[in-house]
Amino acid sequence: MYKYASPKNFYALAGRLIPWLGTITLLLFVFGLYLGLYVAPPDYQQGDSYRIMFIHVPAAWMSMFVYVMMAGAGLVGLVWNIKLADMLATASAPIGASLTLMALVTGSLWGKPTWGTYWVWDARLTSELLLFFLYMGFMALQAAIDDPRRSARAGAVLALVGVVDIPIIHFSVVWWNTLHQPASIGSLGRIVSPTIYPSMLHPLLIMSIAFFVFYFTVVLIRMRGEILARERHTGWVTQIVRSGMEAQGARP
């Protein structure tokens, strides 16, 4: 696996994985949405409004997972000076910000029929909003520094400091009295003995896997772009660009 730490080798590997991951993502989304929107029964209290859960919950889970990935990649980049780790952190930030925004918007839409309002300064909602600001701050900080290495180091420090928000988000419903409901699935025991019906649990898990695979699909696409941008002066990137231009010129 060590050879794939090379940007050139990783670029080729990612190119082979992306079509497969993209196909799996599409199939999982279609199957999960079908089960969630058409097969799962209405909730006895919330009716059909609860179905936004199949988007909101996976997006919220992934917003935290992506930030942990970003902070972990930043740490690897700081300690071992691995360029691909820096690229992973940079490529993950816009994806994580989008997922966090999706979680906030869908949560607000779900909160209106459930709580009677789109937004309250609830501990879970507020800490999730802070996570969105951390993503935006990471991207703004990196954009403000021209040197890629200094930019990566500054972003890594911010990501590592901000990772303290992740346990706050996760345990906020336990530590404080909040409107947000406790986690229906928070451990392996909850999956084996869930507090929601299997007909609702199964599409939720499928959608969660779909979001998970979606992240890796998109982050590989973005990392390939980062590799081309940062390695543009190398011979192998020049050859790729030249081959692409020749292929376009050969088209009728």
pLDDT digits (tens, 9 = 90+) for 171-205: 887 666 666 666 666 544 444 445 678 899 999 99
Cα 106–Cα 103–Cα 155 angle in degrees, nearest 5: 155
Residue bearing the bigger pLDDT, 102 or 46: 102
| pLDDT number for residue 198 | 86
Average pLDDT, rounded, for the chain: 90
pTM for the full model? 0.92
CA proximity to 103, closest of 139, 128, 120: 128
- Whether the per-residue pLDDT at 132 is higher than 50: the answer is yes
| pLDDT number for residue 186 | 53
Tokens of 73: 């990649």
| pLDDT number for residue 247 | 76
Tokens of 29: 């989304």
| pLDDT number for residue 185 | 62
Per-domain residue ranges for the chain?
A: 2-174+183-250
182: three-class secondary structure by DSSP = coil
Instruction: Please compute Rg for the chain using Cα positions.
Output: 21
- Whether the per-residue pLDDT at 125 is higher than 70: the answer is yes
